[in-house]
Structure 1
């Protein structure tokens, strides 16, 4: 696996974890404010949805790099090494196609939402930002999956 993809996956995962931690702190403060002072953080649900979506999208490349996705191998337990490599390559190709399409459509959606000036209900934040920040994580996941497909077909180790 190229070192640049590993480093990008690490940086994305760190950013995703920071996003999740910030969301956790936001939720704690909002719940405490609601319980103690009847004053939750305005827009906490909007911010939580955005932060968790961001965390997931940014952590996907790391999960793919390490082969942490769910694999159902019930039907392939007795398959040979060559067959398994081909199936893993095919699975990587399918994932690359899916996340590539998601990255593309998310980016197109961001442009469309930006052009329509759509905002969130409570805070009035521009919605296009939410879409735009998801695309890089999805694109990097697609790129990693494509490289893994090549490695599977070459018989090399495809996960970190």
Structure 2
């Protein structure tokens, strides 16, 4: 019978010490903060819907706040997914491969993610600077756009650090090291 929850062994989650443990705590708390953003968005949406239906007084700009908050909150979940190697994987093509072969593929995937997330962090920082210089604001609430965009930068930096950690773990496994 198929298991709904896979068993994770020490190969997937090696012991975390020192700076890796600190990174693990930071990405976990960052993801929890992202979850709090979503809870706040849900509460705001409920209040706005009730206000709109019962009192003809919705929260002004609720859709702008929802879009900004959803971007910030969802970016906060990416580092913890990478840190624990829980991104979606399609294993249909790798079931015949050895553990080391899969580790080599994981190594390439984590390296590509690390490079992409570093580029995204860099370009997001440049966009924050551009928005600040151009005084770009949202359409209805006139929120300076650099503020919510700036809140996404730490998520991408943490994603880069988590991808570097997973790259190192995958490299060790590909080289045959036991964790």
Identify, as 1 or 2, the structure richer in helix: 1
Contact 1:151 1:157 in 2 (8 A): no
Aligned length: 158
- Which of 53, 60, 63 is residue 35 of structure 1 equivalent to? 53
Aligned equivalent of 1:136: 154
Does the alignment pair 1:47 with 2:50? Answer: no
Does the alignment pair 1:148 with 2:166? Answer: yes
Q: CA deviation digits over 1:84-137, x for unaligned, max 9?
A: 111011110111111111111111101100000011111111000121111110
TM norm structure 2: 0.85
Segments of structure 1 that go 5 or more residues without pairing to the other structure are none
Aligned equivalent of 1:109: 127
Matching of residues 51-130 of structure 1 within 5 Å: 51-130=69-148
From the superposition, tell whether residues 18 and 85 of structure 1 become closer, same or farther in structure 2 (CA, over 3 Å). Answer: same
Q: Tell me which structure has the larger Cα radius of gyration.
A: 2
TM norm structure 1: 0.94
Partners of 1:65 and 1:115 lie apart in 2 by: 35
Runs of 4+ in 1 over 2 A off after TM superposition: none
Deviation at residue 157 of structure 1 after TM alignment: 8.4
From the superposition, tell whether residues 86 and 13 of structure 1 become closer, same or farther in structure 2 (CA, over 3 Å). Answer: same
